[in-house]
Chains A and B, each alone.
Chain A
Amino acid sequence: MLDKKITFTLNGKKVEFIGDPLRRLIDTLREDFGLTGVKEGCGEGECGACSVIKDGKLVTSCIIPMGAVYGADIWTIEGIRDTELGSTIVEAFADGGAVQCGFCIPGMVLASYVLLKEKSDPSEEEIRQAISGNICRCTGYDLIVKSIRLADERRRGV
């Protein structure tokens, strides 16, 4: 079986991948593109550490094969943290004390980004829902929820 050429957009740039279309997106991002902000926790879609944004939606890159990325628009923490909303969230996480070991944080920031992109002034329940697929072993979530609220307030200028 010949390797397939798969073109897609990665953090705003056109890129191509040549190889086994069943290679996991996470391995391509970390090993072929050096985007090590994408973390591998469970490798089974359960923990959210490997979260990326695909066509505007939060997905777990450990269970997505390259063949499903054909023509897609992929964003990782490396691209999102340079956006206006992304940097606001990253700063709010730091100021709000949301970060301990940091392993879950790239995924948390991406989950928050998708939420805040879609919603202004989300309720606590909506925030908890939005990060419900992202497991944090350190913080107990409360400071993360507070930091997402802080990010939302800052970008709304309140």
Chain B
Amino acid sequence: MNTCYIPENLTEALEIRRKTHALPLAGGTDLMVQAKQGIGINPVFKSPIMIITGLDELKGIRVEDDGTLVIGALTTSAEIAADERVFYHIRTAASQMGAISLRNTATIGGNIANASPKGDLPQPLILLDATLTLASLDGEREMKVDDFITGAKKTALNDDEIIKEIRVKPVEANYLFYHKIGTRKANAISKLSLSAMANVKDGLILDFRASSGAAGDKVKRKREVEEMLIGKAVSDIPSLKDGFLTAWNGILSPHAMPTYRRESTKRMLSYFLDKISEGAELGIIS
């Protein structure tokens, strides 16, 4: 028999979490599938569950005075995809998750806490150096999404904590790229995804970032490799490209279909860099 709590507010949820370590169930799109038994049989959970779907304190999107975007942990992919204030990479990734019904149910907090290497939202969040606010009865702590996800299905979440919200500061960029290669059109979890962005001014690359999803045990991003391009002239891209692509390939560690994933990543990054180097119109590179 399952043990299940339905807290009515965040404080009650945190008390239950501290006392019982019950696992939060947000949208349930990962948990319910894992616990599935069959037609007419209630799912079976190994640990106590706490259904947090109804907690309003964890819902919604807001923008703070300094431009920081704050997304409540229970915000669904559909809500993120529909909100024009959400930064391009996050919004696009959310809009391409699963089919409509999945996007109406799946939450951003669940996607992060699930820490699947194939999860779609950590990739753009890590690109933008997003942080999490983790709440417990002792208060709140702030942590980078990149530090929170420690490996495949592994996170730094304490057993008395709940993800409260996701915080993203705006990052200046004028070339944006997102591409996901899925298995089929709807309900496709990433086989591979890539985000990239560049801020180019007066022929100089002021910032360059990229992040690769589903190409290792967690999202792959490395500032040292990005720095190979930062501060360089756009006109130097052709001579820097091969070295950069080789270095980027070095940080990937795909388990399945490694050649395919490495080659596809290389092709996408190469395409993005060629566009910048050709002086493509500023904006989204598609």
A interface, CB within 8 angstroms of B: 1, 4, 20-24, 27, 30-31, 40, 43-46, 48, 51, 54, 57-60, 62-65, 67-68, 70-71, 111, 114, 129-130, 132-134
Contact = CB atoms under 8 A, between A and B. Distances in A.
B6 A71 contact: no
Contacts of A30: 40
Interface stretch (B94-102, B164-172, B192-200): B94-102
A132 B54 contact: no
User: Among B6, B54, B99, B101, which residue has the most Cβ atoms of chain A within 10 A?
Assistant: B101
Interface in B33-87: 33, 35-36, 38-43, 45, 49, 51, 53-54, 78
Contacts, number: 109
A63 B54 CA distance: 16
B32 to A, nearest CB: 4
Contacts of A68: 25, 27-28, 51, 53-54
A114 B3 CA distance: 35
7 contacts: A1-B3, A22-B4, A22-B51, A24-B43, A67-B6, A68-B53, A134-B99
B38 A43 contact: yes
Contact of B51 (A43, A45, A67): A67
Interface in B149-187: 185-187
Given A43-B38, A68-B53, A24 B32 contact: yes
Contacts of A46: 187
B105 interface: yes
Nearest to A65: B28
**Secondary structure type dominating chain A contacts:** mixed
Contacts of A130: 100
B2 interface: yes
Contacts of A134: 99
A99 B36 CA distance: 30
B101 A1 contact: no
A133 B105 CA distance: 13
B257 interface: no
Contact of B101 (A22, A51, A65): A51
B39 A40 contact: yes
Contact of A133 (B29, B38, B54, B101): B101
A87 to B, nearest CB: 23
Contact of B104 (A4, A57, A70): A57
Given A21-B51, A68-B25, A129-B100, 6 more contacts: A44-B36, A48-B101, A59-B101, A67-B4, A68-B28, A111-B101
Given A46-B187, A48-B101, A133-B186, A63 B28 contact: yes
Contact of A64 (B3, B28, B35, B38): B28
A132 B185 contact: yes
Contacts of A22: 2, 4, 35, 42-43, 45, 49, 51
Interface in B98-141: 98-102, 104-105
9 residue pairs, one from A and one from B, having the closest CB atoms:
A133-B99, A132-B186, A67-B51, A68-B53, A63-B32, A57-B104, A21-B4, A58-B101, A60-B101
Nearest to A61: B101
A4 B43 contact: no
Contacts of B104: 54, 57-59
Contacts of A48: 99, 101
A43 B39 contact: yes
Given A67-B53, A68-B51, A132-B185, A45 B101 contact: yes
Given A44-B36, A63-B29, A63-B33, A133 B3 contact: no
A4 B186 CA distance: 35
Contact of B4 (A4, A57, A133): A4
A43 B268 CA distance: 35
A109 B78 CA distance: 20
A45 B1 CA distance: 24
A27 B42 contact: yes
Nearest to B49: A22
A70 B33 contact: no
